[in-house]
Chain A
């Protein structure tokens, strides 16, 4: 059976003084579900890649990695490739060929498996993952979640004993992430596959994990089960650690510090456990929970008040082409000066489309967008672009030059700065990315790209900033920093509009929440009023309250 053993593994990338991994010793038993967490750059990905020889980075390594008592280097190539499967972060880039069926078959073809056996495995795996309806589709037409499911299934076609997952959920929206996680859990529980998964958002992983490994600066800082991890993270009283915990766990720990000998289901990791915990502790909990939720929401909200209409959408109607259904149907909406508005909505509900329409990137088929009463049609595109900043979901799209410096300078000189060089440097320093100025934008990490793109957009000095899923793929700490940067921008008088799936982020900062459904805004109001009673578009804390209220009714 699959049994990994790492003995004092130390690794450094070529031409880099600092160690990417130092002295990592770890033993992984067959059938375990291991979660590796830690901030970006802590060595999670490097560690996972060391476990899969085919994608191991080149560099200096000492120590030994054994799989079933055999050093990894001595395994024959074919068996090793089949034995250990790997799913990476980006759903798009792992797809090799054009149709789903062929993508699933790709691995089996590499192994020269005969046709009949391939068909049989295909039938089985397509059944397990419910991929039958998609088999004939082009991989390009699938949603992110479907793509990642195909990637997972394609790896499992080779019947691996170990599944390595390198932040597989980071690029997915919460719903798709939950679905994929459910499948991974089933694979682990029903098939006994060893799962080793790295992720920096571990709220939903903690209840599933057998063991949590926390990395930092290339070292294993903690190793133990989920509850021990929660306690450890709490006891460290380090924001870096505590921010990794599910909010419900943090809240419970804040409410009542852990006892010396906690019960088996303490501290609570899920809403269900939290309910039980509240009852056992004899707390009615309602008022406490509410005040806690209040403190999470209210404590951080900016003091700026919104007034006066800045941007108005009047009767927007938009369809991508005449044969496809309309995305927006007569949408009416106003953004007021000083708002920090958040737009929620399901997958494919048209959030991104709406933002692009509001930024003037697309032109609606019917209706119009007005900037301070002037319709877009009567503004030049330059005027519009300087008034409204738009940050796309994929930050890579914002870069066009060979270094961050050039990109920032171009943005500054376009905005009419006297000294673009200096402006660019100032902006980079403000976001803490000055050390990356000479770096090629494509060589930066996802979080750095996000900040870089934000800096580029802000150099245009927009009065309204539209952000599309700004927190996607960020680790909790990077997210907090982004939140602070945005708050700073907001305090300086920029109106913000943000489309997101991240309810907790929205709850912490927004002054207004709206819900897009069926091409129209169906709910629009203050965050507190908006979240109350919601079960889906709500933070776990709000859910706890909502359930409590329903129970006492």
Chain B
């Protein structure tokens, strides 16, 4: 039901471009305020797409990551003029603290943004993009994706049964556990390879390798894809232009500059946020259409 609605209805090429650009800009821009705004936009996208469930799942690792950056950067980097404090004889500078915070913001921003990638770019869409670049590699990727759950399930079964005969990683000395673990993995692999021969037969039997392949996956490039693509390109052009003129990042080293946004910074911010929120327009539009059909308002 989710496919074909709002943001998710866009063509894989548009979605691919969107994420490539979004991440690039997230890394190009280096101003705490802009990054904060970008992060807010990313959260809004998350909330719109699935009520923020996926994002919440990732929030703890992300939090640990940013705390680590914020703490470690001032300890390792001593650039900057304004010394706040001496940790033993290590100088902690204001600049490196701010730099650490901004870097953490940038990380958080990109990660939060990328969480939505998993929601909009389904495996099928990704494969569609991939097939155009390399059909063979796409097939291998597809087979690998089929294999991962199979391997995991088999490993569970194997561990369950082998426990009855004492081959287990759950009890015994560490050396024993390691030996048993290696044995389990070896058994799993030889079993799976044995079966892979049959898979190969099944592929051959269905004419694999008899000539050029075509691809079944298909997405149509609709009007809304053209529109979105145009919007994204316009925002990118504006953003790159201002960025090229030296806007959108803050001077931190050697001496902390001002937090205030210049006019150029403001334009960069607007273009960036516009870029990020553009696909949500479709989300709003479709949601409205849905409300009208169901409740007449």
Residue of A nearest to B201 (CB): A55
CA distance A356 to B171 in the complex (A): 19
- Among the 9-residue stretches B30-38, B160-168, B249-257, the one with 4 or more Cβ atoms under 8 Å from chain A is B160-168
Task: Give, as a whole number of angstroms, the nearest-CB distance from B226 to chain A.
Answer: 21
Known: A88-B202, A140-B153, A400-B162. A102 touches B142 (CB 8 A): yes
Contact residue among B164, B191, B199 (Cβ-Cβ distance under 8 Å from A96): B199
Decide if B157 touches A394 in the complex (CB within 8 Å). yes
Do A78 and B163 touch across chains, with their CB atoms under 8 A apart? no
User: Is A139 interfacial (CB-CB < 8 Å)?
Assistant: yes
* Given contacts A93-B199, A390-B161, A399-B187, A110 and B166 within 8 Å (CB-CB): no
- B215, A109: Cβ atoms closer than 8 Å: yes
Q: Name A's B-contacting residues (CB within 8 A).
A: 52, 54-55, 77-78, 81-82, 85-86, 88, 90, 92-99, 101-102, 105-115, 118-119, 122, 138-140, 151, 154-155, 158, 356, 359, 361-362, 381-382, 385, 389-390, 392, 394, 396-401, 410-411, 414, 442, 456-457, 460
User: Pick the contact of A98 from B146, B157, B165, B202 — CB < 8 Å?
Assistant: B146
CB-based contact A361/B171 at 8 Å: no
Alpha-carbon distance A222/B196, docked complex (angstroms):
35
Q: In the complex, which residue of chain A has the Cβ closest to the Cβ of B161?
A: A397
Q: A111-B211, A356-B160 are in contact. Are A54 and B191 (CB under 8 A)?
A: no
**How distant is the Cα of A78 from the Cα of B212 in the complex, in angstroms?**
11
In residues 150-193 of chain B, which contact A (Cβ within 8 Å)? 150, 153, 157-158, 160-167, 171, 183-184, 187, 190-191
Contacting residues, chain A, for B145 (C-beta < 8 A): 97-98
Do A385 and B166 have beta carbons less than 8 Å apart? yes
Q: Are B165 and A81 in contact (CB under 8 A)?
A: no
* Cα–Cα, bound, A401→B124 (Å): 39
Type the 1/0 row for B117-146, where 1 means its CB is closer than 8 Å to any CB of A. Answer: 000000110000000000000010011011
Question: B residues near A, CB below 8 A?
Answer: 123-124, 139, 142-143, 145-146, 149-150, 153, 157-158, 160-167, 171, 183-184, 187, 190-191, 194-196, 198-199, 201-218
CB-based contact B199/A102 at 8 Å: no
Q: Which residue of A lies closest to B142 (CB)?
A: A97
- Interface core residue of A86, A111, A119, A400 (most chain B CB under 10 Å): A400
Closest to B216 in A: A105
Contacts of A151 in B (CB 8 A): 202
Contact B207–A78 (Cβ < 8 Å): yes
Q: A109-B214, A400-B187 are in contact. Are A93 and B198 (CB under 8 A)?
A: yes
What chain A residues lie within 8 Å of B203 (beta carbons)?
Answer: 96, 106, 110
**Can you list 8 contacts pairing A with B, beta carbon distance less than 8 Å?**
A78-B210, A92-B150, A92-B195, A97-B146, A98-B123, A390-B164, A398-B161, A460-B164
Chain B residue contacts of A457, Cβ below 8 A: 164
Listed residue (B167, B195, B206, B208) with the most chain A CB atoms within 10 angstroms of its CB = B206
Would you give the shortest CB distance from B215 to chain A, in whole angstroms? 6
Q: How far is the CA of A396 from the CA of B188 in the complex (A)?
A: 10
Chain B nearest CB from A321 CB (Å) reads 13
B162 touches A397 (CB 8 A): yes
- Determine whether the beta carbon of B163 is less than 8 Å from that of A81: no
Interchain nearest-CB distance for B182 vs A (Å)? 11
Q: How far is the CA of A102 from the CA of B150 in the complex (A)?
A: 17
Bound together, the chains give a CA A95 to CA B206 distance in angstroms of 11
Residues of B within 8 A of A106 (CB): 203, 206
B165 engages A414 (CB within 8 Å): yes
Q: Are A82 and B198 in touch, CB under 8 angstroms?
A: no
Which 7 A-B residue pairs are closest in the complex by CB-CB distance? A81-B207, A105-B216, A107-B206, A98-B146, A93-B198, A94-B202, A397-B161
CA distance A361 to B159 in the complex (A): 10
**Cross-chain contact A88 with B201 (CB below 8 angstroms):** yes
Chain B residues with Cβ below 8 Å from A98 are 123, 142-143, 145-146
Name the B residues within 8 Å of A55 (CB-CB): 201, 204-205
When chains A and B are docked, how far (Å) is the Cα of A414 from the Cα of B150?
30
The 8 Å CB contact of B165, one of A88, A92, A94, A456, is A456
In the complex, which residues of chain A have a beta carbon less than 8 angstroms from the beta carbon of B199? 93-96
With A98-B123, A98-B142 known as contacts, the answer to whether A410 contacts B165 (CB < 8 A) is: yes
Residues of A within 8 A of B211 (CB): 78, 110-112
Partner of B207, one of A99, A110, A361, A400: A110
Query: Which one of B123, B150, B166, B167 has the greatest number of beta carbons of chain A within 10 Å?
Result: B166
Chain A residues, Cβ within 8 Å of B194: 442
A82 touches B202 (CB 8 A): no
| Cα of A113 to Cα of B212 in the assembled complex, Å | 10
* Residues of chain B lying within 8 A (CB to CB) of residue A109: 213-216
Q: Are B142 and A400 in contact (CB under 8 A)?
A: no
CB distance B164 to A158 under 8 Å? no
Expressed in whole angstroms, the Cα–Cα distance for A85 and B210 within the complex equals 15
Q: Shortest distance in angstroms between A508's beta carbon and chain B's nearest beta carbon?
A: 27
